[in-house]
Amino acid sequence: MFEMKNITLDYGVLQVLDNFNIKGQVEQFLCLVGPSGIGKTSILNVLAEILKPRSGSVVLDNQRIAYVFQEPRLLPWLTVADNMEVGLYSLDHDAHRRKKTVKQLLPLIGLEGFGHYYPDQLSGGMKQRVSIGRAFVIQPDLLLLDEPFSGLDEALKIEMQDLLLTLKKYHMCTTVMVTHDIQEAIKLSDRIIVVDGRPCRIMLDVLIDPADRMEPEYKNQLTEKIKSAIIKQKLNKGMNVNEKKNFIPGALSGAGAQCSRLWGKY
């Protein structure tokens, strides 16, 4: 469980968040959807305590936080297994326990037999598997994902989404994911929050019905609801939108900002 209470965050004269409030429940999978440059990554960084807001407070009922970025950010001089071990050092696990934990997880991420490989010997998809595995190896209480699949082709993206769902069964944790892909959000999450504006604010907060999420009619209705929430904000800003279908596709454009943290905070 986490809660951001009345968070105000500035980058110089640019106000990103102003009395922003959001609360996530235990083991809930929450997706933040919205245009680029409005503060979605900043929300993750405040939760990770990478950024300190000017005012407000963050309540975290968890001890371990893992962060997965858009790029894998692997250490090139370490093997796959060694990259995955890095987060375990902060848990004071001895060498035997670290290696045993990683060895057990490698088959789950589809990399059994690749533990001795180096990052430059891996494909892009394999590198991202290592990045996700590095997050789950510490069994986090809070998992933060900043558009982890946006740089992948469609087939590989679906493969990675399925991997994430598999790992969530292996270890249940509260999850906050930033994405521009509405269909991805519907597939993965329990709850979608649409954010927009500057300063950033919540335009729509909707719970996903797990029984209906893959039903075409339900998906279409939910997709239109999310698109409409963003279009309404654009119209309020005075933008001319002739056709919704031409304005916002299933995957919104843009990648958002990146921060420099490698794997998370404990």
pLDDT for 63 beyond 50 = yes
Q: Residue by residue, what is the 3-state secondary structure of the chain?
A: CEEEEEEEEEECCEEEEEEEEEEECCCCEEEEECCCCCCHHHHHHHHCCCCCCCEEEEEECCCCEEEECCCCCCCCCCCHHHHHHHHHHHHCCCHHHHHHHHHHHCCCCCCCCCCCCCHHHCCHHHHHHHHHHHHHCCCCCEEEEECCCCCCCHHHHHHHHHHHHHHHHHCCCEEEEEECEHHHHHHHCCEEEEEECCCEEEEEEEECCCCCCCCHHHHHHHHHHHHHHHHHHHHHCCCCCCCHHHHCCCECCCCCCCCCCCCCCC
pLDDT for 112 beyond 70 = yes
Reported pTM: 0.87
Mean pLDDT of 240-249: 38
Quote the pLDDT of residue 250: 42
What percent of the chain clears pLDDT 90, i.e. is strictly above it?
77
Asked if residue 262 belongs to a domain, the reply is no
Give pLDDT tens digits for 150-191.
888 999 999 999 999 999 999 999 999 999 999 999 999 999
Asked if residue 263 belongs to a domain, the reply is no
Give Cα 246 distance to the centre of its chain.
26
Asked if residue 228 belongs to a domain, the reply is yes
What confidence category does residue 235 fall into, taking pLDDT thresholds of 50, 70 and 90?
A: low
Cβ–Cβ under 8 Å, residues 142 and 176: yes
Asked if residue 264 belongs to a domain, the reply is no
Asked if residue 91 belongs to a domain, the reply is yes
What is the token pair recorded at 223?
């997709």
- The residue segments making up the domain with residue 181 are 2-247
Strand partners, 59: 3
CATH number of domain containing 70: 3.40.50.300
Give Cα 27 distance to the centre of its chain.
14
Strand partners, 66: 143
Give Cα 180 distance to the centre of its chain.
11
Nearest to 256 by CA among 29, 11, 34, 52: 34
Asked if residue 185 belongs to a domain, the reply is yes
Quote the pLDDT of residue 28: 96
Asked if residue 73 belongs to a domain, the reply is yes
Asked if residue 221 belongs to a domain, the reply is yes
Separation CA 222–CA 226 (nearest Å)? 6
What confidence category does residue 253 fall into, taking pLDDT thresholds of 50, 70 and 90?
A: very low
Cβ–Cβ under 8 Å, residues 102 and 84: yes
Number of domains in the chain: 1
Distances (CA, A) of 241 to 181, 196, 220, 234: 20, 16, 20, 8
